[in-house]
Homo-oligomer: A and B are copies of this chain.
């Protein structure tokens, strides 16, 4: 099935995914997406009444891929009989890996000013994954009185690290390019030193 066969809605989203991967958020103009999909600038309006709704559909694709990547990484770790701490390790690395591999898409996913409804609907799809996160954290901290808060704190740390790297603030502060030491520090802080 070629691009020409699929309905325009899917083609537009696919064009957006491709454009954001190569040119970043800046390349996601409505007319540019339409051009890349081979239609006139008015065509998208049939499927996406506004530019923001088209961008939200593109970001939705990103959220899907992110949850897939995380679920895959966790399944892999769980398959080898890893404990909760190690599975969280794998999840964290998968999260940062996704952000590093798809910087444009990652930015779009969290640019609430570009997404219809601030993207709240989209982020809702990640809730189930977050809950498995909470379960793992509760396993690491059996006596925690609020594992959800602890998990949210850890997640926000991962997110901050992802941003820190994309800004190139790492070189500024630590002198190096690598997030690895920061990631280890964050995981150790939130989950205790790795068992090894």
A interface, CB within 8 angstroms of B = 24-26, 110, 112-113, 118-120, 123-124, 127, 130, 146, 148-150, 152-161, 163-164, 166-170, 172-175, 181-183, 185-186, 189-190
Question: A interface, by DSSP: helix, strand, loop or mixed?
Answer: helix
Chain B residues positioned under 8 Å from A168 (CB to CB): 118, 120
How distant is the Cα of A71 from the Cα of B161 in the complex, in angstroms?
24
Contact of A189 among B124, B169, B172, B190 (CB under 8 A): B190
Chain B residues positioned under 8 Å from A158 (CB to CB): 160
How distant is the Cα of A38 from the Cα of B100 in the complex, in angstroms?
43
* Subset of 12 A-B contacts with CB under 8 Å: A123-B169, A124-B172, A146-B185, A149-B174, A149-B182, A150-B189, A152-B182, A152-B185, A153-B183, A154-B189, A159-B160, A189-B190
